Chains A and B, each alone.
Chain A
Amino acid sequence: MGDPKGFLKIGRKPPPKRNVVERIQDYRYIYDTMPEDELRGQASRCMDCGIPFCSAGCPLGNLIPDWNDLVYRDQWREAIDRLHATNNFPEFTGMLCPAPCEPACVLSINDKPVTIKEIELSIINRAFDEGWVVPKPPEKRTGKRVAVVGSGPAGLAAAQQLNSAGHSVIVFEKDDRIGGLLRYGIPDYKIEKWVVDRRIAQLEEEGVEFRTNAYVGYDPSTEELKLDFDAIVLAVGALQGRELNVPGRELGGIHLAMEYLVQQNRRVVGLPILTEPEITAKDKKVVILGGGDTSADCLGNAHREGARSVQVLTHGPSPPEKPDDLTWPDWPFIFRTYPAHEEGGERKWSVGVTGFSGSNGYVEKMHVVRTERTPEGRTKPLPGTEDEIDTDLVLLAIGFTGPVRDRLLEDLNLKFGAKGGIVSDERFRTSDVPGVFAAGDAKLGADLIVTAIAEGRKVAREVDIYLMGESLLPTPDTFG
């Protein structure tokens, strides 16, 4: 720890953001960079705790105190090594992770936490700038072949890890580009796509093979895959959106959020829209249902597209402003304002949807009712509070129910758990078919990107053990 009294001298300073008026004009990354000495001051606030709750709160077990200290002491080169030791893609998490480490920071008990996420991102940015991130192909190949199905963060992490252990890894992606949600789920203003490309290029140079437009189950078939590979990792994500079963749902202008986001992401980078109908928020009275990350992504996109108005409606009541003191170091249930919320729109709480109506097969009105939360934690409508909202675009961002049950999953005869994820044992092994592993959202249901990378690392070790009998691949809770 560089400065034991850093936290007493310096207050938390969050990363600077571009101003709202400017940023909603484009899809560029919304954060600015912090001057280096200021950043190092922020890093000096880390107390190098005997129990680093931040690290324990990080699904990857990032060595946060270590690299905070290295940044404070201007040791960027060591910092990126320490960061890469636990995290394959710090730029992804640095930009996209909600950072459960920060509420877990000991300073969160009675002060403001260290700006861990910002420091993480600065380290990896610096490393790319300096040319320190170079492909490291393995020195030796084992001759084993591993198929990774899905190229989201879990699949990519698993691929890189397995490749480094000398296995030949082929990543199958049903879409036309690698990246999964990173590519077509998350808006550019949160992660510009060249950031993803940069990593994919590294992986390719390390020897990972990518096959796009390869919808496993069809091409190749499940049988072909099984024959061709010594092990299969299912990292297909959990993209099945949750439905809202109310009258009028079938009307036009009501879409699952992901349908909108995929189109929007393609539009931003100038790719053709492949699905019908085309969904746009431009000049629309947009209503977004649900209050999470996906909802916020829809919100940000809607403003950038030039929506007439946007309302974000949540079923339950508004969360409290302050966390319960017993929550630390866990993720607190509090009212959160994402950057997208700063950009406009109206948030409403305790709104239940009873149905939609419209004309010409298109939605015009949404019928709602006020809800209240019972002491048991259920939400129920309050009679006599019925109301209507004018709308011509409704986006359902109310969660996901697990992986899309496609042919591959059917062929493998998998079991699915209560949250919709593929059931596997503690060694990530699925079903009765030996050598088939599941990881990430596909296994857990929709979760954080950091969890996905962690899953990818863990499954890689398990696959390595399965193939070789032992493994030196590190995971979040082991070190080689």
Chain B
Amino acid sequence: MKTPNAGLYDPSYEHDACGVGFVVRADGRRTREMVEQGLEVLLNLAHRGATGSDPETGDGAGLMIQVPDAFFRRECKALGFELPPAGCYGVGMVFLSSEDEEGKDCGGWVERCVAEEGQRFLGWRDVPVEPGEVGELARSVMPRIRQFFVERRGLDEDSFERKLYVIRRRVHKIAHERSKRYNLVREDGSRCYVASLSARTAVYKGLLTGEQLPRFYPDLRDPEVASALALVHSRFSTNTLGSWELAHPYRYMAHNGEINTLRGNINWMHARQSQLESPLFGEDLEKLFPIIQPGGSDSAAFDNALELLTLGGRSLPHAMMMMVPEAWENDNLIDEERKAFYQYHSALMEPWDGPAVIAATDGRSIGAILDRNGLRPARYSVTRDGRVTLASEEGVLNDVVPPEEITERWRLQPGRMLLVDTEQGRILHDEDVKRSVIRRKPYHRWVEEGTISLKELIDAPAPNGQLEPSSLHERQRTFGYTLEDLSILLAPMGRDGKEPDSSMGDDTPLAVLSERPQPLFNYFQQLFAQVTNPPIDPVREELVMSLNMSLGPEGNLFDETPEHCRRMLLDHPILTGPELEKLRQLETPPFKSATLSTLFSVEEGEGGMEWALEELCKGAEEAIREGVNILILSDRGVDAEKAPIPSLLSTAAVHHHLVRAGIRNSAGLVVETGEAREVHHFAVLVGYGAVAIHPYLAFETLADIVGDAGELEGVSVEEASEKYIKAIKKGLLKIISKMGISTLFSYCGAQIFEAVGLEKDLVDRHFTGTASRIGGVGIKGLAREALERHRRAFAEIETNPAGLDVGGEYHLRVQGEYHQWNQTSVVALQRAVKTKSFETFKEYTEHFDSESARLSTLRSLFDFRRDPIPVEEVESAKEIVKRFCTGAMSFGSISKETHETLAVAMNQIGGKSNTGEGGEESERFLDERRSAIKQVASGRFGVTTEYLVNSDQLQIKMAQGSKPGEGGQLPGHKISEEIARVRYSTPGVGLISPPPHHDIHSIEDLAQLIHDLKNANPRADISVKLVAEVGVGTVAAGVAKAKADHITISGHDGGTGASPLSSIKHAGLPWELGIAEAQQVLVENNLRGRVVLQADGSMKTGRDVVVAALLGAEDFGFSIAPLVAVGCIMMRVCHLNTCPVGIATQDPVLRKKFTGAPEHVINYFFFLAEEVRQYMAELGFRKFDEMVGRSDKLTMRDTIKHWKAKDIDLSEIFYRPEVADEVATHKAEVQDHNLRASLDNEIIPRVRPALEDGNPVRLCMPIRNINRTVGGMLAGEIARRYGFEGLPEDTIRIDFKGTAGQSFGAWAPKGLTFVLEGETNDYVGKGLSGGKLIVASSPGAGYEPEDSIAVGNVALYGATAGEAYFRGFAGERFAIRNSGAEAVVEGIGDHGCEYMTGGMVVILGPVGRNFAAGMSGGVAFVLDENDTFRSLYNPEMVGLEVVESEEDVDLLRRMIVRHREWTGSEIANKVLENWSEYLPKFIKVMPNDLKRVLQERQAAELEVVQ
């Protein structure tokens, strides 16, 4: 459902994630029991759903079952009409407008459509509902819910199902047209929404909680409602502008996760339409268009496509495999046939990529598939009598299905599928389902014969620069090359094969505010994943990534012929000159290319470009109509008369023109351009439809600097080009992975960008569907910039000497781009804080704020509506400074001296400092050097229970401004003894922070982590740090619903740490947009009162604070400014450890140069507060809180002369939602974390003797999946009293029985022992801090423990100490980021021991793929019985050894003995009994880095001895 856009909120950025599940009887018997169990599953997944501001209104819940014939027959009879035999009629479930008249109207269309499609309309049934059972908010938007019945006429069963689909599409289209015509609010026509229309299935859903569903729909309680299967879903949406329609299931599926490539998928589906032909649909086909209904969610769009594929003739599993392929590209373990199947289908459709578990049914089969990287949980069990339960969690039917009845307990693995065919009565595992699909056609032969790799084509000579009429230099200037492009970008890429790093954020103007001509690329900012789905680590999880691209026309989606895979395969999108020539020479089918020039005549001025662009689009269309299927857009040949259209504009314009013309899929776009040179450029080009790019000028330039400048000493031209391509490839992988996308193929055309500063018309026409929220430059402006560059390149009179522009984008150059932090501002601030001079401070702020200041930021365009009061009446500076925090900078990234100076200062003024992600020395916990905010980041360095309990605020870092969506790395040489101690790692051994938190793969996971942290320390506020991008408001609403107490929105421009240059420059948005959007959405959803909203990111002045407050912030983070106050001079070498003022360095010599003092920081913040007061007085606010969210006080400066800035429209930023008085616009209430429900409330009183006096206590208790974070509160209690030391071993022992919920045993400190008879869900032992966890299935279980799953995904994440013994398997990512725990397990999934830095893991069974990726410390012992391990581990950072030293043998044996003792493991027993036989089968996995350090240490010790 689409609500009207208001302000910055756009509903298309809504996300959801959820609990999903199904129950089914393989024998197909329709029973009442299945329906009830479905509802039971829903009830037990309640905690995965969410509620909004109205706790009684759920985000949505639903159930899909087979059509309950007996029930409907009875009901219809009562209504006065007879139903035909089962299967001969269809049932529609419709949500109508609640107003009667509209409803009737719409009912009329339904009847008409049915009749027109030759079927017989039988009658309506008003579905009985009990509105009293639902929340007020849900009730207020509740539709009228009706069912209608259609009799099958002259069709077979399948055709009838297709006909019903046609009818439904027609009804929706009429509704859509109508709402457009009458300009109705719900433009997607949801006033008549058909939730389901089928002869096989019926959907009951709504804006409900799982528990409310059967209460609201009495039908579902009726004993005659029976089914052999039930698909259920409980929704967690990021906002609460509630919608009944967006509840799942849809017609075919329910989904937990996110489709990241949605925009591209929708565009491509649209582009495909004109080529569709189907004998099954025949003439009806056109009635279905558009296939993807506008305004739906990602799940709805996926459902639309799945439905089309299934009804178009493919089986359900076949369709699912097409849409969610496995990671086949780089996996050598996949068999050839399977690979061929996926490759063949990649020619038909790009993957729908993102973390997802998709459960789907056509009413006969039901199944589920998991994304290629296994980022969502899906557990299933099978009973003796063939009932299958699959759900996001284990234990959802524990009460009705005892372990004795279960014969199989397993999980969906990455990319794998499970299907239950109720017609054949079979349960089909991945291999069984897929084998038959893969063998349907000779895909392998087709692919062998049909595809051709670019490499196989005959070489063609490259024209290189000689054919160009202009010199290299002239062309470099035409395309805006600067000296920095050469020295900072190209040379390092050509030398090192990677993108360069920088630090200290971005302080140059937005492209639209820059006075220098900007490449169009710079107006586009990369989007990234945060909270609702995880970014991927493209290095450590390279396995799932792919840059493969292909060229050629696409065939009819419904057909399968050998011609469909006639593709030209490219390993990646960067073409060399000879490669492009190969393409250019293709002239005969199946491949025919044509080159179109993208130059325009300079003489025609600004209008000339627009005209040329139109001609280009027309030319492209004509070429395709003439049979061309590879279009090469080329800007070669610039000279004094001809200038290039920006390559991005020509690419996107042609792409969208062809999409609109319906022929986009007939050709692939190749771009030959002199403009693209850095990673971001290539990403944007691919994002807007380019399949391949030949950056000829970048290659020529590289060759030139290899020859001349010696920057690339000892590197040949060939090497430099190869390295450069390698760098671009790596960069592309990073950019797509930060959005959680694995394949470039599905990134192509996906438009994962937000435009900043481009005119709406321009964007709507050529970048259709891209967000651009502040207007700005139009096509004439872009032409002006292109002409400006051209003029400089071809000026008749050369300047002396002729050089390239200095640039100054990265390092300030007085002739170059403006930097806000410069010689004037830095010096003024340092002098002000040292002399405590407010006048000097004003000189500093004048620099940014005055009328004459250079416009660089959005806020510099703002002005205030004034209403002055005397400044004496304004609240004191002492109060205001409490709202200030310093940003998250870890001890490790900055020196100890700096870190402590900031902490002392903030503690003195009552503000807060932030540990950053590197932990805190325990000595600091209780003194003035303590950081009140303790950060919990993806690396979990030093995150012990003791650390948690010593905080006032716990900040979950989802993203950071300088490189949102990316992880980090601290190289070994920076890890001193001290830092290693705090981070629980080894000195000298490098550390990696993963891009995602591996316990946050979706929003409900975030809710779980918040719950975990709150349990550990109920006194701390939980903060979630986000980075501004389009949709951040929606994410913020989700985060508020996930129970955060505090939300930080960071701007793109801040960031102190080392980051790749392209991320610093091109990812994230200004905080002005982020804060405004967050405020607007939170207020509209009535969630604002529950959270504190913090603005962060390169804030400098009191005016910045006031602007942020007016937009909605009430708390403020600062990093760069306080660092400058203590001496930072913006060297931007934080990543090199050479900071000459002792701030960002660990070098003891340099650290001595630090001269900052707490007073400097204190002075800065007091000046800032004083300036805030002055502004408050001008604006007429006495209390700070009054000012929060008063965006009506902002206007645009009327003195703006800048030609680009003039066209900016800030009204969306200034929009202030109109809400009732009682709706809070700043923090006003306390989040209800529902800790009362925690099982620990029962445990803690019973273990008091242990807690208070250290006396041993032992308890027994049952446990269920709804008991989450069991032990978390107790852990906090122990750590608060006894610190990291905890209690003596086993002081508290609790024996549980059942299925534990998520985060079982989280944070458990020493002295706490949990023994679970049963199994757990995900995140067992999260942050384990010394405790002991034992999990073993119940003795009577019907399955073999060693073949079953004992603990879920991501066990022992971030553990620092402790022991764990798990009898059975663990899921994916076992012991990830473990830095000290010791564990034994009997088998694990993919990515085991990833990023591990310490501890020990023993695996007595199979391991999944990519074991030990990024593992820099600790050791693992793997029992490799079948000799498969060598093909499964990731050799990048570890070596394999035999277990031979006495020390190792003893250790291993001791661990296995303990495992046997605690779990009764039979494998352990077998191994121990036959020790000499098994010992040689163990492999020791040893990190190279650790080994090196240990050897060095040993050598050093030897020296000492000698």
Contact = CB atoms under 8 A, between A and B. Distances in A.
Interface of A: 4-5, 7-8, 47-53, 55-57, 61, 63, 65-66, 73-75, 78, 81-82, 84-86, 104, 106-107, 109-111, 136, 138-140, 142, 160-161, 164-166, 325-326, 328-330, 472-474, 476-480
A172 to B, nearest CB: 22
B931 to A, nearest CB: 26
Interface string B1159-1171: 0000000000000
A136 B814 CA distance: 26
Nearest to A65: B811
B834 interface: yes
Contacts of A63: 806, 813, 815
A51 B821 contact: yes
B926 interface: no
A55 B813 contact: yes
B588 interface: no
A302 to B, nearest CB: 39
Interface string B702-729: 0000001111010000000000000000
Given A75-B710, A142-B797, A4 B1129 contact: no
A50 B483 contact: no
B1131 A78 contact: no
Q: How large is the interface on B (under 10, 10 to 19, 20 to 34, 35 or more residues)?
A: 35 or more
A138 B504 CA distance: 43
B814 A56 contact: yes
A85 to B, nearest CB: 5
Interface string B785-820: 000000010011111110101100001111110010
B1140 A85 contact: no
Given A51-B821, A75-B709, 19 more contacts: A8-B1147, A47-B1138, A47-B1140, A52-B812, A53-B1129, A56-B822, A57-B823, A63-B806, A63-B815, A66-B806, A73-B713, A78-B708, A81-B803, A84-B800, A109-B1129, A111-B1140, A164-B797, A477-B815, A479-B806
A4 B1138 contact: yes
A51 B806 contact: no
Nearest to A82: B803
Contact of A476 (B815, B823, B1141, B1149): B815
B815 to A, nearest CB: 4
B815 A48 contact: no
Contacts, number: 135
A84 B1131 contact: no
Interface string B816-841: 10010111001100010011000000
Given A47-B1140, A56-B823, A106-B1131, A165 B797 contact: yes
A139 B798 contact: yes
A51 B815 contact: no
5 closest A-B pairs by beta carbon, nearest first, are: A50-B1132, A56-B823, A61-B814, A479-B815, A164-B800
Nearest to B797: A166
Contacts of A106: 1129, 1131, 1140
Contacts of A110: 1140-1141, 1153, 1155
B1130 interface: yes
B174 interface: no
Interface of B: 483, 504, 708-711, 713, 792, 795-801, 803, 805-806, 811-816, 819, 821-823, 826-827, 831, 834-835, 1129-1133, 1136, 1138, 1140-1141, 1147, 1149-1150, 1153, 1155
A164 B799 contact: yes
A480 B813 contact: no
Contact of A48 (B797, B811, B821, B1150): B811
Nearest to B1139: A47
Contact of B799 (A4, A66, A325, A474): A474
Nearest to B708: A78
Nearest to B806: A479
Contacts of B827: 328-330
Contact of A326 (B811, B835, B1140, B1149): B835
B1472 to A, nearest CB: 54
A111 B1138 CA distance: 14
Contacts of A480: 792, 799, 805
A52 B814 CA distance: 9
B797 A50 contact: no
B358 to A, nearest CB: 48
Contacts of B1140: 7, 47, 106-107, 109-111
Nearest to B816: A479
Contact of B805 (A84, A473, A477, A479): A479
A444 B1225 CA distance: 56
Nearest to B810: A50
B815 A474 contact: yes
Contact of B710 (A55, A74, A107, A111): A74
30 contacts: A4-B1133, A7-B1138, A8-B1150, A49-B1129, A50-B504, A51-B811, A52-B811, A57-B823, A63-B806, A65-B811, A78-B708, A81-B803, A85-B803, A106-B1131, A109-B1141, A110-B1141, A111-B1140, A136-B800, A138-B798, A139-B798, A140-B796, A164-B798, A164-B800, A326-B831, A326-B835, A329-B823, A477-B814, A479-B805, A479-B815, A479-B816
B1136 A4 contact: yes
A53 B1141 CA distance: 14
A472 B816 contact: no
Contacts of B792: 472, 480
A109 B1154 CA distance: 11
Contacts of B483: 66
A51 B822 contact: yes
B807 to A, nearest CB: 9
B709 A78 contact: yes
Given A51-B826, A472-B792, A140 B803 contact: no
A76 to B, nearest CB: 11
B540 to A, nearest CB: 27
Nearest to B804: A479
Contacts of A86: 815
A78 B801 CA distance: 11
Nearest to B815: A479
A104 B1129 CA distance: 12
Contacts of A85: 801, 803
Contacts of A164: 797-800
